[in-house]
């Protein structure tokens, strides 16, 4: 187990280094580099040159990379000249909101997807299975923004049950007005649970074909108990690893949901930055999000290994 | 898993085809997909509409005899626009899926065949890029230049080659231990020959399944980009643009501005996914034996 831990953590560290190189190269792949990105389209070549010299952007790339890396490690992610604020400060307010949205909706998605997938797997090709498949397939094939706006139309505009927008204040404000968070959380959960439940269903079907299930049935265990005591645990451990793999995808979904509900999280910030070509903000977010996903999938893999000892070696080598 | 040389290729294709058409949902998906493609590419030849000029006097007309699905806010026929609008989604989706799967398969098979340190280094690059959400990368690229069909294809390819690279690399790791690949070197063939002639051909079914799902993902991605205001620019029509443009009329009762485009997206994406599921089941070694 220790060997696996060390190997998997080293791998994650290596991936993190590659992430910083990729983000650094993105910054310098911009036409005319960071100077143009910061000074804007009207800057003259002389201005660009002066800016590059003042900020050390005329040094060799490896030197710049290490200087940039040192600044990042000190918590300096750059400065948004468009918003006149440091990227670190912008992210410090946006990241907790996104964590709240993503965390709540992922928990909700798992809580719904696991029983639904188990039921579908256990009653394969029944009317229930076909109905739930139709529902999950529709959710999966539907643009997330449309789903969100339909929910707003029904629950906010027609029924007046819930507010149409998410609260836009700080974390405390959001927690004091939780009703505004219901529609965004439900929208994101519906999008993710569609694929989660397909996965749980497939995993259950696969487990039901195993020998240990046949043995359990042969000794006379009722079908419900076979699922509850034998299949559940084995079908669920891959879900932990799925959570890690799905993180980038859930964060992408979060961007759309934040845009629909005007929820000022990381995705919303990124969206605004993309429209305003605010590159320091975009690259800061990309870096933070990528680091978050790498750590998230590391934790998911460790959790998976803790649940399923057989996979320790396999996961460590892949 | 049976070795591919045991049965003649033609018999295996016939088996897989039969298995695919035994799957009712996959068959329905394929039929719908063919109909949608005909609708988009042959439809405009039969149903002539003017999608270039605007006619504000005929704007937002409800469905009637002259316009079966009504007209949009600029007086253009919605049915005709729906036909033309599907083209961008389908073309971008198919080209991006083919290019991305090819690039990913080459990269993954080289990494898997090389093994060792080269493999580890190559795959950590994939891990690093895959940890950045697709939508973030594509928005970043879209912010550099207004998206055209070409930049859309490039942007989607940049993010979609990673998953096939991972999957194909896994298969290449298995294949390189098999005799028929190992013997290439003994018989004087180089690594390039081993990869292109022996590893890649054995991953074709995986590539086909993966590419199918990617077309569906690309269509949703283009729709999302349109909603976020960074999609293909008007007057070029696309379903996502029609849907997100129509949503501003959500409370005005102009339902024909929303539902035709929205349902077109759902139906197309769903049938592509059904075809993908069917292909995977029909081509997997488990079902063949």
The 10s digit of each residue's pLDDT in A108-145 is: 999 998 888 888 888 887 888 888 888 888 888 888 88
Closest chain B residue to A140 measured between Cα atoms? B270
| Per-residue pLDDT at A318 | 43
Give A66's contacts (C-beta < 8 A, 6+ positions apart): none
Angle ∠(A317,B1,B2) on CA atoms, nearest 5: 140
Lowest average pLDDT, out of A37-41, A130-134, B103-107, goes to: A37-41
Closest-CA residue in chain A for B251?
A: A153
- Cβ contact (<8 Å) for A286 and B132? yes
Verify whether the Cβ–Cβ distance A19 to B265 is below 8 Å: no
Task: Give the one of A16, A138, A277 whose C-beta lies nearest to B270's C-beta.
Answer: A138
Note the pLDDT tens digit of each residue in A249-289: 898 899 999 988 888 889 999 998 888 888 888 888 988 89
The answer to whether the bond into A143 is cis (omega within 30° of 0) is no
Q: For residues A19 and B130, what is the distance between their CA atoms, to the nearest angstrom?
A: 10
CB-CB under 8 Å, B124 with A11: yes
Higher pLDDT, A248 or A180: A248
Q: What number is the average pLDDT over the span B187-199?
A: 75
Structure tokens at A141: 């094939």
Q: Tell me the range of A84-88, A307-311, B3-7, B30-34 where mean pLDDT is highest.
A: B30-34
SS3 B268: helix
Q: Which residues of A touch B223 (CB under 8 A)?
A: 143, 145
Confidence at residue A118, expressed as pLDDT on a 0 to 100 scale: 85
Q: What is the pLDDT of residues A143-162, one digit of tens each?
A: 888 888 888 888 877 787 77
With 90 as the cut, is the pLDDT of residue A105 above it? yes
Q: How confident is the model at residue B107 (pLDDT cuts 50, 70, 90)?
A: very high
**How far apart are the CA of A142 and the nearest CA of chain B, in angstroms?**
5
Quote the pLDDT of residue A317: 47
Smallest Cα distance from B224 to chain A, Å? 7
Mind listing the pLDDT tens digit for each residue in A280-292?
888 889 888 988 8
CB–CB of A11 and B262 under 8 A? no
Report how far residue A266's alpha carbon sits from residue A254's, in angstroms, rounded to the nearest whole number: 9
Taking the C-alpha atoms of residue A15 and residue A21, their distance in angstroms, rounded to an integer, is: 10
pLDDT bin (cut points 50, 70, 90) of residue B2 is: very low
Residues of chain B positioned with their CB less than 8 A from the CB of A11: 124, 127
Contact flag B132-A248 (C-beta cutoff 8 Å):
yes
User: Is residue B206 pLDDT above 70, yes or no?
Assistant: yes
Q: What percent of chain A has pLDDT over 90?
A: 7
Joined tokens for residue A244: 């890690």
Cis preceding linkage at B235, omega within 30: yes
Q: How many CB pairs lie under 8 A apart between chains A and B?
A: 126
Instruction: Grade residue B235 by pLDDT with cuts at 50, 70 and 90.
Output: low
Give pLDDT, residue B285.
Answer: 58
ipTM score for this prediction: 0.85
What distance, in Å, lies between the first and last C-alpha atoms of chain B?
A: 8
Query: pLDDT above 70 covers what percent of chain A?
Result: 95
B48 vs B44: CA distance, rounded Å? 6
Highest mean pLDDT among A218-227, A235-244, B41-50, B131-140: B131-140
- Domains detected in chain A: 2-85 (no CATH), 94-275 (1.10.3720.10)
Chain B residue with Cα closest to A36: B144
Q: Are the beta carbons of B132 and A293 separated by less than 8 Å?
A: yes
Residue B125 has pLDDT above 80, yes or no: yes
How far off is chain A from B265, nearest CA to CA, in Å?
7
CA–CA distance from A117 to each of A4, A198, A301 (Å)?
A: 31, 6, 22
The average pLDDT across B208-233 equals: 86
pLDDT at A18: 87
> Residue A309: which pLDDT band, with cuts at 50, 70 and 90?
low
* Residues forming a β-bridge with A101: none
B234, pLDDT greater than 70: no
Nearest to B224 among A138, A256, A290 (CB): A256
Q: What is the pLDDT of residue A316?
A: 44
The residue in chain A having the minimum alpha-carbon distance to the alpha carbon of residue B220 is A143
Using alpha carbons only, how large is chain B's radius of gyration in Å? 22
Distance CA B42, CA B38 (A): 5
CB contact under 8 A, B124 and A252: no
The minimum CA-CA distance between A251 and chain B, rounded to whole Å, is 7
Give chain B positions within 8 Å (CB) of A145.
223-224, 227, 244
Task: List the single residue in B132, B224, B228 with the smallest CB-CB distance to A290.
Answer: B132
The lowest-confidence range among A187-191, A217-221, A306-310, B177-181 is: A306-310
How much is the pLDDT for A189?
92
Q: Residue A255: its pLDDT value, please? A: 92
Residue A61 confidence (pLDDT)? 80
pLDDT score at A312: 57
SS3 A203: helix
Q: Which among A146, A249, A274 is the nearest to B140, CB-wise?
A: A274
Confidence (pLDDT) at A307: 74
Cα Rg of chain A, angstroms? 24
pLDDT of the residue at A310 = 66
- The reported pLDDT for the residue numbered B1 is 46
Task: Check whether B188 has a pLDDT greater than 50.
Answer: yes
Yes or no, beta carbons of A138 and B269 under 8 Å apart: no
pLDDT at residue B197 tops 80: no
Residue B95 confidence (pLDDT) = 92
Mutation target vs B (from A12, A142, A274, A287; most B CBs, 10 A cutoff): A274
Tokens at A159, concatenated: 């029924």
pLDDT higher than threshold 70 for residue B289: no
Provide mean pLDDT across the span A186-212: 85
Average pLDDT, chain B: 80
**Residue % of chain B over a pLDDT of 70:** 89
Does A22 contact B265 at a Cβ distance shorter than 8 Å? no
Per DSSP bridges, beta strands A85-86 and A79-80 are antiparallel
Q: For residues B110 and A34, which has the higher predicted lDDT (pLDDT)?
A: B110
Helix (H) or strand (E) holding A86: strand A85-86
More confident residue, B104 or B244: B104
How much is the pLDDT for B75?
A: 65
Question: Given pLDDT bands bounded at 50, 70 and 90, which one contains residue B104?
Answer: very high
What are φ and ψ of residue A110, in 5° steps? -65, -45
């Amino acid at each position: 187990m220790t060997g696996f831990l060390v190997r998997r953590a080293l791998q994650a560290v290596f991936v993190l280094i590659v992430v910083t190189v990729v983000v650094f190269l993105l910054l310098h792949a911009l036409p005319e580099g960071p100077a143009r990105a910061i000074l804007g389209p009207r800057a003259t070549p002389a201005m660009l040159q002066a800016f590059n010299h003042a900020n050390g952007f005329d040094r060799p790339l490896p030197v710049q990379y290490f200087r940039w890396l040192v600044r990042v490690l000190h918590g300096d992610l750059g400065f948004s000249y468009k918003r006149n604020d440091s990227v670190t400060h912008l992210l410090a307010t946006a990241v907790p909101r996104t964590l709240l949205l993503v965390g709540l909706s992922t928990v909700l998605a798992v809580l719904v997807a696991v029983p639904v997938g188990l039921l579908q797997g256990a009653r394969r090709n029944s009317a229930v299975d076909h109905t739930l498949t139709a529902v999950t397939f529709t959710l999966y094939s539907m643009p997330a923004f449309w789903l969100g706006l339909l929910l707003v139309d029904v629950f906010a505009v027609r029924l007046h049950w819930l507010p149409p927008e998410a609260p836009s204040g700080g974390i405390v404000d959001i927690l004091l007005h939780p009703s505004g968070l219901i529609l965004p959380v439900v929208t994101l959960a519906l999008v993710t649970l569609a694929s989660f439940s397909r996965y749980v269903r497939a995993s259950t079907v696969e487990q039901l074909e195993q020998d240990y299930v046949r043995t359990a049935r042969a000794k006379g265990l009722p079908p419900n108990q076979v699922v509850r005591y034998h299949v559940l645990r084995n079908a669920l451990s891959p879900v932990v690893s799925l959570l890690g793999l799905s993180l980038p995808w859930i964060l992408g979904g979060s961007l759309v949901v934040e845009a629909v509900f005007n929820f000022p999280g990381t995705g919303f910030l990124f969206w605004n930055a993309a429209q305003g070509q605010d590159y320091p903000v975009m690259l800061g977010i990309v870096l933070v999000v990528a680091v978050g996903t790498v750590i998230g999938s590391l934790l998911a893999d460790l959790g998976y290994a803790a649940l399923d000892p057989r996979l320790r070696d396999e996961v460590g080598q892949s | 898993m049976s070795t591919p040389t045991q049965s003649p290729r033609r018999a295996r294709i016939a088996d897989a085809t039969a298995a695919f058409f035994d799957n009712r949902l996959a068959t329905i998906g394929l039929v719908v997909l063919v109909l949608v493609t005909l609708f988009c590419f042959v439809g405009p030849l039969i149903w002539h509409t003017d999608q270039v000029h605007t006619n504000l006097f005929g704007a937002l007309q409800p469905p009637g005899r002259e316009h079966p699905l009504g007209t949009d806010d600029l007086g253009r026929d919605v049915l005709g626009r729906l036909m033309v609008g599907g083209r961008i989604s389908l073309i971008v989706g198919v080209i991006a899926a083919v290019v991305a799967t090819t690039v990913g398969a080459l990269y993954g098979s080289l990494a898997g065949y090389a093994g060792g340190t080269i493999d580890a280094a190559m795959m950590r690059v994939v891990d690093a890029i895959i940890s950045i959400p697709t939508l973030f990368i594509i928005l970043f690229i879209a912010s550099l230049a207004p998206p055209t069909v070409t930049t859309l294809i490039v942007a989607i390819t940049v993010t979609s080659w990673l998953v096939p690279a991972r999957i194909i690399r896994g298969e290449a790791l298995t294949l390189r231990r098999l005799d028929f690949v190992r013997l290439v070197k003994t018989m004087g063939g180089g690594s390039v020959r081993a990869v292109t002639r022996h590893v890649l051909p054995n991953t074709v079914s995986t590539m086909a399944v993966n590419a199918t799902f990617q077309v569906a993902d690309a269509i949703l991605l283009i729709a999302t980009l349109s909603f976020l205001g960074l999609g293909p620019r008007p007057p070029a029509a696309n379903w996502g643009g029609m849907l997100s443009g129509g949503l501003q009329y959500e409370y005005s009762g102009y339902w024909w501005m929303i539902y035709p485009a929205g349902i077109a997206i759902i139906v197309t994406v769903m049938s592509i996914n059904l075809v993908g599921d069917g292909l995977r089941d029909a081509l997997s070694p488990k079902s063949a034996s």
